[in-house]
Amino acid sequence: MTLTDVSVSTLAAPHPLGSLSTAEFTAIRDIVINADGFTDTTRFAYVGLAEPHKREVLAWQAGTGPLPDRKARVMLLDMATGRSTDNIVSLGGGAVGGGVIESTHVLDGSAGQLPILDTEFEAIAGIVNADPRWVAALAERGTTIDEVVVVPLSAGYYDLPEEIGRRIVRVLAFRQDYPTDHPWAHPVDGLCAYVDTAAGTITRLIDAATVAIPAEGGNFNDPAVQGEPLTTLKPIVISQPEGPSFAVDGEWVTWANWKFQVGFDTREGLVLRQLSFTDAGEERPIIYRASINEMLVPYGDPSPVRFWQNYFDTGEYLFGRYTNSLALGCDCVGEIRYFDAVLADELGNPFTIPNGICMHEEDVGTLWKHSDLFTGAHEVRRQRRLVISFFTTVGNYDYGFYWYLSLDGTIECEAKLTGVLFTSAYPGIAAPGATHDAGADYPYASEVAPGLGAPYHQHLFSARLDMTVDGTANAVDEIEAVRLPMGPGNEHGNAFTMKSTRLASEAASGRLADASVARSWHIVNTEKTNRMGRPTGYALLPEANPTLMADPQSSIAKRAEFATKHLFVTQYDPSEKYAAGDFVHQNPGGDGITKYIADDASIDGEDIVLWHTFGPTHFPRVEDWPVMPVDYAKFTLKPYGFFGANPTLNVPASEPVAHCSHGGEPEVHAAHASPAAASAASAAGGSACAGHADHA
């Protein structure tokens, strides 16, 4: 096995969509800190590529337009005053140096705040611990500030007078019994502080009830908790003796018939651009840009210290900055190509997350197969896919996002959810005016350990799919299975058919998945046809999980209209990048999808963007504690009339290989530790997968 790394920072970027380089981040920092209004207390909340308009990029690629200028979007927060600005910095002509701040927008706070900074989070413990009300409330619960860690969380929006125009976080506490104790096992429930991060004060303290702090530990990495190691598992070896089938040129990847660009963003994490499939020598576009643009985690516990728990991990926290450095044999197995991610810290300095993105091939079983009764033909082919992934840790949860490209043109996106549940006391704290029998089950949480609750919640991901199926003239047809009544023409009642409905405009594009009629959405080209004379297209196949469970009149429903439907479709606009809007923290609602569809523009035969909501509704299990086995959520894009026939007929048959036999000795692979080696590593205080650094 060989490993090759490519750093995004090494790209020469004449390409207008190339990731910002280390030199460019440095130039952006210097431009900004030397501008009027920059102070010693100003921090960089976000720095990312300001992508040119799609038509400019396509014109340049076609040789009919100039190379667009390099620009960056920079969000700045003055920690002392709360002054927030959204700026466009022009680097000019692709060359580093001589750039200027092209525009500045000052936020007034009425339509949301900039994302929460790590610097703000780090100051919270000092703020609450200095307040005698907080100290007294902890003492009432039998603990102290020295025994407690605080967890600052995004505040949402509840029209509280003292919070208007101020940067607010809400703070919960967890007891930590010793330095390596996992505090999630010991929630200090019934207590919450509302904190103004700029003023450094508690604006409101909620002391709703005094309840027992759960005592049982949750240290999943403790050998005593893990139990005796499972010793019956034999090594699995993944080997590509001739190397991988993909080729990498900077950020551009070619594999089988696929070509695309790998990018990375502080807010969205992994971004795939300009996915195309070469068919009979023609490079045919499918998706211009694909990303997870928002992730909402709404909780369903209405208690006075938890009703506000609705986290936008992308827009409020910028989950890309918490990307893990991935480790061979632990996170990624096989012939791996890593990409580093280069970002800017809160002082504007570039920093690198090594091995932030992992790419490899996987064998995924049968591609196609038939044994013919009449001709005696027996053919089988193996399916394989290219996997591009990253993992990010946001507080207690860990999220992996995996994009799969298959030989037959299928595109899949899968979210993998693991980590530690966000916990509460059980049975929980009743909301004001509610009655609750302490001996009864609490209706808003599961008991996962003695006295330890895990509130019901959802994980709702928004995939932004900027489509270019055979070009930019696209439309969406909603496809449904239709049952037909018995009668003339269907005398035996066996008939059923398919109904297709064109989505005509943005306002009518909000649609729900419906498994009972196999509802899907076909993205078709309105100007090109296949050999059958029908539009070329791709089908979006959703999972029919619930959308946002909160009441339509709730604050969170107004802030996250995108999550009330599985699908919205909008006409392409380069300023419309995020489903919940640009400034999500403390946003009262009305931004994002709500605003994007307000003009009800046509989406029939236009350059369109699909916004697809997917994800699980989580009623935690006892088996999810103390660390959660991976849960999955996904969607699929499958060619439907895009090709003239099965595009994988030319995939060669696999050759038998030695390790398919059970008769010989297993192949030895250095990257896989034996049970004995793993046991030895454990005894030494580590593991075979230890030693890599996570950026958190």
One-letter amino acid identity for 225? V
Q: DSSP for 494-538, please give it.
A: --EEEEEEEE-BGGG--B---GGGT-EEEEEEEEEE-TTSSEEEE
H or E stretch covering 253: strand 252-255
Torsion of CA 22, 27, 28, 30, to 10 degrees: 130
H or E stretch covering 225: helix 223-226
Cβ proximity of 398 and 419 under 8 Å: yes
Look up 313 and say whether it is catalytic.
Answer: yes
Pairing of strands 535-541, 457-458: unpaired
Q: Across-strand partners of 289?
A: 273, 466
Cβ partners under 8 Å of residue 646, min gap 6:
368, 408
Q: 169: closest CA among 143, 201, 142, 145?
A: 201
**How many residues does this entry show for the chain?**
696
Which H, E and C letters describe 616-627, residue by residue? Answer: CEECCCHHHCCC
Q: 141: closest CA among 191, 193, 206, 215?
A: 191
Q: 568: closest CA among 592, 549, 588?
A: 592
265, 313, 477, 607: the catalytic one is 313
Look up 311 and say whether it is catalytic.
Answer: no
Cβ proximity of 359 and 328 under 8 Å: no
Tokens 């504690």 correspond to: 625
Q: DSSP for 317-342, please give it.
A: T-GGGGBBPP-BTTTB-SS-EEEEEE
Distance CA 116, CA 106 (A): 17
H or E stretch covering 403: strand 397-406
Q: 105: closest CA among 89, 116, 121?
A: 89
Cβ proximity of 328 and 215 under 8 Å: no
Distance CA 254, CA 263 (A): 15
397, 456, 578, 640: the catalytic one is 397
Q: DSSP for 296-323, please give it.
A: EEEB---STTTTT-EEETTTTT-GGGGB
Q: How far is CA 103 from CA 43, 265, 581, in A?
A: 18, 21, 19
The two three-digit tokens of residue 645, written as one number: 């026939």
DSSP character for 695? Answer: P
Q: DSSP for 97-132, please give it.
A: SS-EEEEEEEE-STT-BPPPPHHHHHHHHHHHHT-H
Q: How far is CA 196 from CA 127, 145, 171, 661, in A?
A: 9, 19, 11, 65
Task: Enumerate the active-site residues.
Answer: 313, 397
